[in-house]
Structure 1
């Protein structure tokens, strides 16, 4: 059996084609989406969990070394790995929020794929994370369907990162492919996520059109200029219909990060000075919330940085605020801050004002934010998305008949208006913001594996 698998930055979902109709497969109760999150007692638990609980071996010698190291460290910590040690989705988030400093929590590991300059053991560990999440989705889908799933088409962005080029993309796709194979898929194909979203939109067309698909996901934004319609439906070779592709690592996570950075971090001392008159390095306020940058996270949460933060708190004019930054480090609360920024972003779609409440356990920090302030905070990623749209139009050397916007972040009125500014006279349509990519991948799986 074949499925389309959207291994997303924000959520994962799967679907298959039944009598030419898309059927999404529930993964958590009746919910067809599961958050791309994982929680475990330690990072090392994940690698041993795959081997000991799921009988999934590493894919190479480096992976074997990662597993041996994990088993050794877990034994030293007295951890006996059992199946319930690793949680996914909202259950993982609940465990993290319950006691952030005593668990390993990861959100959106897809954001790290393609990062250059990492050691082989780090890349192998990322593969373990992806494999654990994919295996969970596959097992839940098989339980619901009552049959084995052996074939899949996995969605991928045009570019996993804005830098790194083809080498970055090959690295990321290799991790996804090996993880899927280890999870039990025998046949694995890939399709660009905006192309997949376009295939679902194409199924509704009664005439051929030039369509600019703008897919704004949790981690990336991709633009694909595609010829589509009845003349193309069901064709296995679509190369000549793909006119232009652009993509970059900018998406919903970036909106949350910029909201947190520009509106929340002043409560943690950003903008204050030391008594000597020197500024506090701005990276100390950016790194804890840059959840899509593994190096930034590592620098902030390093043990040596705790000493630096404690010294900065003593030297700061506003010591109480910078002391919150120390708490942020000690209790690993960066994800909690980003979660509140995401809640603000969603709330401000239907309200002019929102009061964010950041829980530091010792205190509740309340921060007011307006819709206009939110729009100003995300100006940087908004302009990047506009640039991708312009680049796609320049590549195609023609205007589209319609703009099809999809992806969870495409719900943002700020981003929709920004795209409309670039192409003011072109109609904008949308379908299932979260499900169009999954549906298109399922349709492509039917073409690939029929």
Structure 2
């Protein structure tokens, strides 16, 4: 009889699903052969139908075609545990709650996995950050409860959770020979999480790994925060950020710029009230050219395109010392040169907090950095040069493993689903 369970990594930036089907664990191709899909949704204006992933991104960026009209969303994971879950949002004029929106995204992952294995999957281990919300246990518990309710809503009947860095460790463990003391560095779009854990391929099928997990820590800082830092340091000043207006030389309101630099807040800027305020300030602005660009972005609703250009710049600065951010959707010849040094200065406070969370994990585990034999890097933000340099300094004697940065959590969650559910549920 067929048995199946799965692991779902619902990430702030990217997501994946892996299955344990009759003892064979594998990642499911979820978009054009890729085992990861951007956590992005686009609701078409003509019928409010949702498309997902790379298709959603392409539809949104192709704003000049009929298919490009609609509502784009990213970073939905960051809404869990916040008041926005209850408030909901307008999608092409129709009120929609975020549980419905997230459920649609996760359901299409489940459907693809079930099509691959040929039957319904009822068991899931959902990945979760160590902290959905920092320093707020009630909101953290609420976020997990909301995600569990969504999993039940799309048809899962047996649901468990695992910390994402632990899942990443499980994925790497299958390739190990011998025993290693490891720290997992999981830097995603919304959170940075750490686990100190003893790993061995002999431990893979142990039903209880609590004795091997020495400590977990996390902080709600990730790649999206790097995007925001870079945007405020390099991009927003060219849109009038911190410019002045009026006879008294007052600084323009900063909130629109901060919201425009966050994926989860951009859509809330496109209101008549906000447009009216910016138009009024433009008349009194001391830098009408730059401040006028802010109005152009709000009128054309190109905030997500602005963030996409910022993210592209961030990624390019991994290999390039200087990158030209092309913002031709604001003005045909608008290009901003951005240096890696500026980027690294902009994110230095966040990098310091990330490093401190890793050191806290060591303290809670009761081990010195010299004792760590393996550093497992997972999540797209571990590509950032200053992050790599920081962890090489913290663990100079450890080997670095960074295979499958975007998919190891999903794979590890499937290993965990096998350990937790085994063959107890028959399909």
Provide the TM-score with structure 1 as the length reference: 0.84
Equivalent-residue separation in structure 1 for 2:192 and 2:267 (angstroms): 22
The 1:391–1:134 alpha-carbon spacing in structure 2 relative to 1, beyond 3 Å, is: same
Which of 91, 95, 98 is matched with 2:55 structurally? 91
Backbone CA RMSD of aligned residues: 2.2
Q: Which residue of 2 aligns with 1:430?
A: 402
Name the counterpart of 1:367.
336
Moved more, 214-223 or 351-360: 351-360
* Cα pair 2:126 2:161 within 8 Å, conserved: yes
Aligned pair partner of 1:379 in 331, 348, 365: 348
The one-character-per-residue Cα deviations of 1:27-67 (angstroms, maximum 9, x if unpaired) are 1221221110111146xxxxxxxxxxxxxxxxxxxxxxxxx
Worse overlay, 15-24 or 33-42: 15-24
How many Å apart are 1:240 and its aligned residue? 2.0
Q: Distance in 2 between matches of 1:286 and 1:391?
A: 29
Counterpart pick for 1:318 among 265, 271, 287: 287
* 1:130 corresponds to 2:94: no
2:17 to 14, 18, 26: 14
Partner of 1:24: 27
Q: CA deviation at 1:177?
A: 1.2
- Count the aligned residue pairs: 406
Deviates more, 1:316-325 or 1:13-22: 13-22
Task: Report the counterpart of residue 289 of structure 1 in structure 2.
Answer: 261
Q: Please tell me whether residue 355 in structure 1 is matched to residue 355 in structure 2.
A: no
Q: Deviation digits for residues 172-197 of structure 1, max 9, x if unmatched?
A: 11221111111122222111100000
CA distances 1:322-378 after superposition (whole Å, capped 9, x unpaired): 111112222222211111111112212222221111133554421111222222222
Contact 2:317 / 2:323 at 8 angstroms: preserved in 1?
yes
Distance 2:69 2:407 in 1: 35
Contact 2:373/2:397 (8 A) holds in 1: no
1:326-365 matched pairs, under 5 angstroms: 326-360=295-329, 363-365=332-334
Q: State the secondary structure of the residue aligned to 1:246.
A: strand
| Residues 131, 219 of structure 2: 8 Å contact kept | yes
Contact 2:17 2:410 in 1 (8 A): yes
The question of whether the paired residues in 2 share the 8 Å contact of 1:11 and 1:36 is answered with yes
Normalized per residue, the structure richer in helix is 1
Q: How does 1:176-187 map to 2 (within 5 A)?
A: 176-187=147-158
Matches within 5 A, 1:31-42: 31-41=34-44
Looking at structure 1, the residues matched to 63 and 201 of structure 2 have their Cα atoms a distance apart, in angstroms, of 54
The answer on whether the counterparts of 1:288 and 1:301 sit within 8 Å (CA) in structure 2 is no
Do the aligned partners of 1:154 and 1:190 also contact (CA within 8 Å) in 2? yes
Residue 109 of structure 1: aligned partner: 76
Q: CA deviation at 1:257?
A: 1.5
Q: 1:188 to 1:119 in 2, by over 3 A?
A: closer
Question: Relative to structure 2, which stretch is displaced further, 440-449 or 225-234?
Answer: 225-234
Contact 2:35 2:407 in 1 (8 A): no
Sort the Cα spacing of 1:321 and 1:94 in 2 relative to 1 into closer, same or farther, 3 A: same
Q: For 2:336 and 2:218, how far apart are their aligned partners in 1?
A: 33
1:275 CA drift (Å): 4.2
SS in 1 for 2:245: coil
Are 1:172 and 2:138 matched, yes or no? no
CA distance in 2, matches of 1:80, 1:260: 33
Instruction: Summarize deviations over 1:248-287 as a string: whole Å, max 9, x none.
Output: 2111111112111111111101232214211112223212
The C-alpha deviation readout for 1:65-111, integer Å capped at 9, x for no partner, is: xxxxxxxxxxxxxx766xxx211111111222233995221102001
Aligned partner of residue 227 in structure 1, secondary structure: strand
Contact kept? 2:187, 2:381, Cα under 8 Å: yes
Q: CA deviation at 1:320?
A: 1.4
Does 139-148 or 332-341 show the bigger shift? 139-148
CA positional deviation for 1:387: 1.5
> Which 10-residue stretch deviates more, 273-282 or 126-135?
273-282
Higher alpha-carbon deviation: 408-417 or 97-106: 97-106
Structure 2 residue 362 is matched with structure 1 residue 393: yes
**Secondary structure, counterpart of 2:234 in structure 1:** helix
Contact 1:411 1:433 in 2 (8 A): no
Distance 1:233 1:30 in 2: 28
Query: What's the counterpart of residue 181 of structure 2?
Result: 210
Post-superposition shift, 1:118? 4.4
**Displacement of 1:121:** 4.2
